[in-house]
Amino acid sequence: MTLEQLQTQFEAFKAKKLSLDMSRGKPSAAQLDLSNELLDTVTSNDYLSSTGAETRNYGGLDGLPATKQLFKDFLEVSSVEEVVIGGNASLTIMHDIISRGITHGMCDSYQPWGKEKIKFICPVPGYDRHFSICEHFGIDMIPVACTEDGPDMDVVEKLVANDSSIKGIWIVPKYSNPTGLSCSDEVVNRLSMMNTAAEDFRIFWDNAYAVHHLSEDQDQLKNILTTCKEFGNDNRPFILCSTSKITFAGAGVAAVGGSTDNMDWYRKHLFISTIGPDKLNQERHNRFFKNIEGLYEHMKKHAALLKPRFVKTLSILEEELGGTNLATWTKPKGGYFISFNVPEGCAKRVVALSAEAGVKLTGAGATYPYKKDPKNSNIRLAPSCPTIDEIEQAMRIVCLATKIAALEMKASVAV
Ligand code: PMP
């Protein structure tokens, strides 16, 4: 089709004055409804924990015992001492750990991170909020490309072996944001065993999508804490998770796992910043799930809502762009996102054209540190919120925008 013909199609879409959104990785209203019973589990005359703890009062710094047990199983750590329950957001825990690293140092630091200019390795494309934390604290970001198995470990190993100011790496190990892909056993091994010039190097193992499978065909990952321990690097990983995309994104429960030394360090800092967490919400979650099996069962209901949305997104991509050599995209088995790569130099134009026709996408560049995608090629697609019909319309527009941007680019190169 010629550029003019595509533009005619585009004008027809514009005339519909649509308002569609594929930018946000948040649960749909129907997904939130799946957990409404959670709100009725604790009532005005039934609120004590299973061990009789007063959930309304101060105390219980690192969580109710039953909540710690639930998250011990969720985080796949070996004891409840290796778990600390937080507030509603795992992002807050990540922020706080780094903030305290900067002011006080980690449990095995010889000086606070803030005494030197430190750096983090940022696998790309990645999660913008990780990059925002680094930017906020003035931590230099080193982008490292991802393969289908996780970060390019040849590059990571060289970097960390030679530079003691590299203190951390962000990893979304399972159904990553935005690729939807998972780390292979080899990547888990190499991350666990690699020599780091910094003795207080940390992996921020953000397992935000640990149980977010789309079907029975699931990625199973090697246990990061056990593997790090095998190589004597017990303090290397902080494992993060939350129920933001399991119960309520704004009122879930977050947790962190890691070695007892790491968790004791975190408890020590937490003691200064709070007299105790929201145990009422923890108790709601204990009662709602009962145990980890209950949580896994609950996730099947999410999958039933999410899978058709992924299937629709992928089928339109295939129909419109399959075999054109214009774009590539991931086909995740779980998580919330599809990573979509358009021709180099075109991502911003695709996002702008889509917006003109009423489709909001995550900003081009958002998946890279400092919002700078050097190839201007990656776009994150988030199919969880729109309806199937909306996805159909939105994706037709995104694909049309891709074809137009590619032809415009070709024309400009020819001139
Ligand atoms: N990590 C990743 C990789 C995410 O995609 C998200 C949600 N977009 C979060 C963390 C945020 O989690 P929480 O709500 O627990 O802060």
Pairwise CA distance, residues 147 & 407, whole Å: 28
> Which pairs count as long-range contacts for 368-373, CB under 8 Å and 24+ apart, including other chains?
368/124, 368/125, 368/126, 368/131, 368/143, 369/122, 369/124, 369/126, 369/131, 369/134, 369/135, 369/141, 369/143, 370/131, 370/135, 370/141, 371/128, 371/131, 373/125, 373/347
pLDDT for 145: 97
Compute the distance from residue 157 Cα to the ligand 1 centre, in Å: 26
Average pLDDT over residues 342-350: 98
Pairwise CA distance, residues 204 & 139, whole Å: 14
Compute the distance from residue 170 Cα to the ligand 1 centre, in Å: 12
CA distances from 319 to 114, 131, 312, 322 (A): 51, 34, 10, 6
Pairwise CA distance, residues 177 & 208, whole Å: 9
Pairwise CA distance, residues 415 & 35, whole Å: 57
Domains in the chain, please, with CATH? 3-25+296-414 (3.90.1150.10), 40-291 (3.40.640.10)
Q: Are 62 and 275 in contact (CB under 8 A)?
A: no
pLDDT in tens, 114-139: 999 999 999 999 999 999 999 999 99
Q: Whose CA is nearest to atom 2 of ligand 1?
A: 208
**Ligand 1 residue neighbourhood (C-beta within 6 Å):** 25, 89-91, 127, 172, 177, 206, 208, 242, 244, 254
Compute the distance from residue 254 Cα to the ligand 1 centre, in Å: 10
Task: Kindly state the helix (H) or strand (E) to which residue 378 belongs, with its residue range.
Answer: strand 378-381
pLDDT in tens, 66-96: 999 999 999 999 999 999 999 999 999 999 9
Candidate from 124, 130, 203, 206 with most ligand 1 atoms within 8 A of CB, to mutate: 206
Q: Are 100 and 269 in contact (CB under 8 A)?
A: yes
Task: Please tell me the pTM assigned to this model.
Answer: 0.97
Q: Whose CA is nearest to atom 5 of ligand 1?
A: 177
Longest dimension (CA), the chain: 76
Tokens, residue 260 = 């007892």
Average pLDDT over residues 306-327: 97
Compute the distance from residue 140 Cα to the ligand 1 centre, in Å: 21
Asked if pLDDT for residue 176 goes beyond 80, the answer is yes
* Amino acid at residue number 218: Q
Tokens, residue 140 = 């230099």
CB atoms within 10 A of CB 209: 24
All residues at 6 or more sequence positions from 57 whose CB lies less than 8 Å from its CB, including other chains: 276
Pairwise CA distance, residues 284 & 41, whole Å: 6
Asked if pLDDT for residue 415 goes beyond 70, the answer is no
Candidate from 24, 31, 85, 91 with most ligand 1 atoms within 8 A of CB, to mutate: 91
CA nearest to 13, candidates 339, 411, 393:
393
Compute the distance from residue 51 Cα to the ligand 1 centre, in Å: 31
Q: How far is CA 366 from the centre of its chain?
A: 13
Task: Looking at the CA of residue 176, tell me the nearest atom of ligand 1.
Answer: 3
Candidate from 26, 244, 247 with most ligand 1 atoms within 8 A of CB, to mutate: 244
pLDDT for 414: 76
All residues at 6 or more sequence positions from 152 whose CB lies less than 8 Å from its CB, including other chains: 144, 145, 146
Compute the distance from residue 243 Cα to the ligand 1 centre, in Å: 10
The conformation of residue 54, written as its DSSP 8-state character, comes to: -
pLDDT in tens, 382-410: 999 999 999 999 999 999 999 999 999 98
Compute the distance from residue 177 Cα to the ligand 1 centre, in Å: 9
CB atoms within 10 A of CB 403: 23
